[in-house]
Amino acid sequence: MGQERGGLAVGRPTAKGAPLDFGEGAAFRLKSGRELVRALLVLQLCAFPRLVRHAGTILAASRRVLGARLWGGLLRATFYGQFVGGETPAEVTAAAQRLRAVGLRPMLAVPTEEDVGQEKDGEEWYEANRGAALECVGLAAATGPHPMMQLKVTALMSARLCETVSRRLAEPGTELTLERVAAVMGGEAAAFPLLTPAENRHLGVSLRRLDDVAGAAARRGVRVLVDAEQSYVNPALSLATLALMARHNREAPWVWNTYQAYLRDGKRRLAGDAAAARAHGARFGVKLVRGAYLELERRRARERGDPDPVHPTWDDTPPQANLPYFLAPRLA
């Protein structure tokens, strides 16, 4: 949900500007009693760490025991039904209309992502995700005014390469600049000496995949909110997102970047990216979140002997409302 103030995307609770009413169950009127019971059951199950940790194993074992048909029906009635907006374009559109009826603006998401160590062989998986993302653009455009969608870069680019690029960005004099990355998105060959030939080939096709999605979204009037993912790949993700902004955010902030307030360097990175967008004449769209990878970030830092990248407590985390003041009043 959001509106633009001088190029900065800021939250707006409802379509009419009034806060969403949670009193006397008003916010839940779009849900049936059965759906509310299902939601309570699913959320209670998700509160068990062991269940969440071993979800993949449990799903595989239950499918073998129940059979594909019964297993699929059970998932649709529980977890899938809770978290997925619909299986068909008609179901997605109907779900979006129900949300808009109570003043909520829907944001469609392609939930596919990849972590370091999960890389796929070849380009087929990433190309398939490009097709899914382009389909999501069309679905989002059909949901009503001011449509939005979320996109994860690692659905279209290897997480390992994102980690490599993130490390290279910390080196002095790196050639991985916003201008060069934007040029590769426009068709220039990726030929960075600090990357291997295979890495350059994958970087080139991946950046053009991202540009295809952002270009299609801009033409259809869909905001693309690029997810932040993990801190060890985020510098590469932000670089690619800023390059998309430089190419597509001249007239309006079609591409937004995400900033995680629980990271210690969140304010610094937001201010730096805002300055970069301003320097390239791009509107700057921002999604501000607390963050979603706290345990992973801290565990990885301990294992590597690195400083904890996360603020030590909730109270130390800057309130989301304070972060926009690091931005200029107008970025255009």
In a domain, residue 96? The reply is: no
262 and 139 part of one domain? yes
Which pLDDT belongs to residue 181? 97
Question: Is residue 194 within 8 Å of 174, Cβ to Cβ?
Answer: yes
Q: What is the pLDDT of residue 26?
A: 62
Burial 218-228 (b: 16+ CB within 10 A, else e): beeebbbbbbb
Residue 129 forms part of a structural domain: yes
Q: How confident is residue 319, by pLDDT bands cut at 50, 70 and 90? A: low
% of the chain residues with pLDDT over 90: 58
Report yes or no: 161 and 240 within 8 Å, Cβ to Cβ.
no
User: Has residue 5 got a pLDDT over 90?
Assistant: no
State yes or no: pLDDT of 298 exceeds 60: yes
Is 146 in the same domain as 256?
yes
**Mean pLDDT throughout 196-213?**
98
Residue 150: DSSP 8-state: E
Q: Is residue 306 part of a domain?
A: yes
My answer on whether 70 and 138 are in the same domain is no
Mean pLDDT of the region 211-225: 97
**From start to end of 40-123, where are the E strands?**
107-109
What does the H/E/C string look like for 159-223?
Answer: HHHHHHHHHHHCCCCCCCCHHHHHHHHCCCCCCCCCCCHHHHHHHHHHHHHHHHHHHHHHHHCCE
* Domain-terminating residue out of 39, 70, 90: 90
Percent residues over pLDDT 70 in the chain: 87
Confidence (pTM)? 0.83
pLDDT of residue 16 exceeding 60, the answer is no
Do 51 and 116 sit in the same domain of this protein?
A: no
Residues 148, 109: one domain?
Answer: yes
Q: How many domains does the chain have?
A: 2
75 and 209 housed in the same domain: no
Q: Which of 67, 90, 113 is the last residue of a domain?
A: 90
Model confidence at 233: pLDDT above 50: yes
Mean pLDDT is highest, among 95-109, 277-291, 317-331, for 277-291
281 has pLDDT over 60: yes
Quote the pLDDT of residue 22. Answer: 57
Residue 332, domain member (yes or no): no
Given this model, what pLDDT does residue 11 score? 37
pLDDT beyond 80 at 21: no
Which residues have a Cβ under 8 Å from the Cβ of 205 and sit 6 or more positions away?
123, 126
Same domain, 262 and 165: yes
Residue 97 domain flag: no
Q: Is 210 exposed, middle or buried (0-12, 13-18, 19+ CB in 10 A)?
A: buried
Supply angle C-alpha 156, 159, 161, rounded to 5.
95
Residues 53 and 132 placed together within one structural domain of the fold = no
77 with 107, same domain: the answer is no
135-175 per-position pLDDT tens digit:
999 999 998 899 999 999 999 999 999 999 999 999 988 99
* Domain identity same for 214 and 263: yes
Q: Is the pLDDT higher at 213 or at 53?
A: 213
Does residue 25 lie in a domain region?
Answer: no
Q: In this structure, is residue 214 part of a structural domain?
A: yes
Give me the domain span that covers residue 117: 3-14+102-326
The answer, yes or no, to whether residue 102 has pLDDT greater than 60, is yes
Q: Is residue 20 part of a domain?
A: no
Shared-domain flag, residues 198 and 288: yes
Q: In this structure, what CATH number is given to the domain that contains residue 267?
A: 3.20.20.220
pLDDT digits (tens, 9 = 90+) for 55-101: 889 999 999 999 999 999 999 888 888 888 888 889 888 888 888 88
- Contact between 216 and 238 (Cβ < 8 Å): no
Kindly state whether residues 199 and 82 are assigned to the same domain.
no
